Chain A
């Protein structure tokens, strides 16, 4: 039976699911409720000099019938007095001694950092997270992502914190930077015990096209916010991988960004995260979603034979290479299962207009099942991705599985195209229709008004 217990940089929690520092961790009331529902830890809504917030604060990207596929906010750190927050931290720890309570902090001067670190420790926090990520409002005041984007300053503040901290310190990184490993390295050099990523991405989620103002709207005006939710997961996974693979960092990683189900958590862990933090999914569905996450993770671990979380952390990292190390001899082509095909022909139009003209249609109008033109298929996956039927289009391996040749090897052997019209151009081996053939291809009669 899988054991979900985790020890993250010395912070123990009954499971790897923590609430991220955000509105769901604004109060002791919410965190008590969350722990009671099954959450393993919580990073308290960032403490500091209390702020004044605006109304309204959130914006959303809806896709088709799905609400909040992406989400942004212009809310700041806590607007509650520090003493109230500290008293509630104490109360939570008294009631839930085995759960992890991490104090997220954001202040300016060295003296303030020293004071607030001590206050957080005295209240009974299990760890500290330094908020160097907030990309709106606080950064204008020289905090949040303004720190996270300057590795030197980041390192200096981490050093201030480490001068007094006796509990584990996590540095939360901003993704609003071209190379996430630079601030990660700075955190390591400053002496941090772990990193968490990603914080939100600077964003505008949409524009009110009647009144010409982006969302969320504050008295007819708006400002950029921080983007999160399922839409940001691919960016967060990539940055997690980058930090995990960097030989100079080697710190425990808390994965953040669009985690909503156990599958998302597993993906972060396979790419190097030791636990995950969740916010948007809770803001959407409430604390109850932990039921699905915990059971799913346990079932997965049992099925794969992982006894502890540590056994699965980073399992996918050896399979993430540089492009130049991929096997150019590997060849797949699409295969349509005629029994499953429902005849929507989305694969046809996607390949025809968006890829390599490798799918054809029957001349019999009653037969709506498209066919693959194997010699044209470059194995791009597009048709299998647009197909609305599970496992209808699959990619079948066609090479003899004996050859292996990478771009790096071809470069070393002087076997790569180097001039504009080089005969080694990859596309020369692939058929492309003549431009004027565009007018010979039949299109549905209703396409042109």
Chain B
């Protein structure tokens, strides 16, 4: 293994984390856009949670109305640039492209989308007309995809919007949680700047909303409150040894990687626990940071993994080794991690069962847990009348995204339990539309 040397400089980091969907050149965009068939009731549009009129924007790129193309994209999705880069397009728009039925490569919709929106961002052109202020005020908790999408839509209608963000930067997981080879920090933040300038919402950074007093204050100041709070820290596994030095959550690992990769030195042997997309990311990232031996361990079979196939392929492509039907029972070591003790599993009637006497240990210097994030139940319980479902997700009306407390609307991972950026954007926007229709 060790395809990647541990990066010591920004240039080496960027090389190890080269963008998998790099920006297209004008020529690439011209030729790629020429291939679109302009389908009727195009399946790509229907596959997009935000319903972007994809054939239209591709035709606009081809007729060299690139800012018009960006307008088409942003009309449906204010995270147009970010989604072009981080969306799992293989299973959304590009997966729906009719060319797939003809064994012809699907149109690279994601890259065309970033091509057009990049031109708009760099032109600094104002694309949106905001209604005059209607004197009504909305608060948003969390400057992630759901919150920003909600804010933009509310600003168009003339609401004053203030966003309260616990962290220092906007865009939520786009900048803190997505793998660095999907989008760079600068790309994510440039789009946020562009939106902020156009839509004129206020963001209070490093301003967590945590206490009952905070909530009372917001409720008295604002007519509507939107919860775009996402999820909390990585959940506990509940196995012995979890407190050892070198055990960490995937979400926390990615965040450190994105905010300060210089502070991270990934050791030789890493075991990633989990079978979702975050596990794939964490495994890929460990390898790209110079780990020599990365094991991706999942308690069920390969086929049962929640991760998209292309995400697993991406991890395999950088040398990650899969270990399936193996459940962790203990993290071993003396203060510091030395390995993970697994037990073999099989599935009986849909339930995972361990096989007695099949324990074995894999050596590790680090263990990354990608086994789900906790819900922010402590905070949510401070809001009166706000119901949660059995998994701890906020209950909403599926059409309006209004919560059981009518003053509150919510969308994003806090509602879905963990979906794509594009779903959060789509639902944040729907919530805003519903506020305007609410009598």
Contacts and interface: CB of A to CB of B under 8 A. Distances in A.
A342 B101 contact: yes
B182 to A, nearest CB: 26
Most interface-central of A65, A349, A443, A449 (chain B CB within 10 A): A65
B51 A348 contact: no
B40 A446 contact: no
B316 interface: no
21 contacts: A64-B34, A64-B62, A65-B30, A341-B101, A342-B98, A342-B101, A342-B102, A343-B101, A344-B37, A344-B40, A344-B98, A345-B39, A346-B40, A349-B40, A368-B43, A388-B37, A444-B42, A446-B51, A446-B53, A446-B56, A449-B75
A322 interface: no
A141 interface: no
Nearest to B45: A446
A145 to B, nearest CB: 34
A443 B53 CA distance: 13
B34 A444 contact: no
Interface in B377-434: none
Interface residues of A, number: 20
Interface string A68-106: 000000000000000000000000000000000000000
Given A349-B40, A444-B42, A65 B34 contact: yes
B246 to A, nearest CB: 48
Contacts of A445: 51
A389 interface: yes
A65 B31 contact: yes
B422 to A, nearest CB: 16
Interface residues of B, number: 22
Label chain A's interface by main secondary structure. loop
Interface string B149-171: 00000000000000000000000
A345 B98 CA distance: 10
Contact of B39 (A64, A346, A361): A346
Contacts of A343: 39, 43, 98, 101
Interface of A: 64-65, 341-346, 348-349, 361, 365, 368, 388-389, 443-446, 449
A254 B101 CA distance: 44
A65 B62 CA distance: 9
Nearest to A446: B53
A167 B62 CA distance: 52
Given A388-B102, A443-B41, A449-B75, 8 more contacts: A65-B30, A65-B34, A342-B98, A344-B37, A365-B46, A368-B43, A368-B98, A445-B51
Interface string B360-371: 000000000000
B190 to A, nearest CB: 27
Contacts of B31: 65
B99 interface: yes
Contacts of A443: 41
Contact of B102 (A65, A368, A389, A446): A389
A346 B53 CA distance: 16
Given A444-B45, A445-B51, A446-B53, A346 B37 contact: yes
B38 interface: yes
A11 B409 CA distance: 86
Contacts of B99: 342
Contacts of B41: 345, 361, 443-444
B71 to A, nearest CB: 11
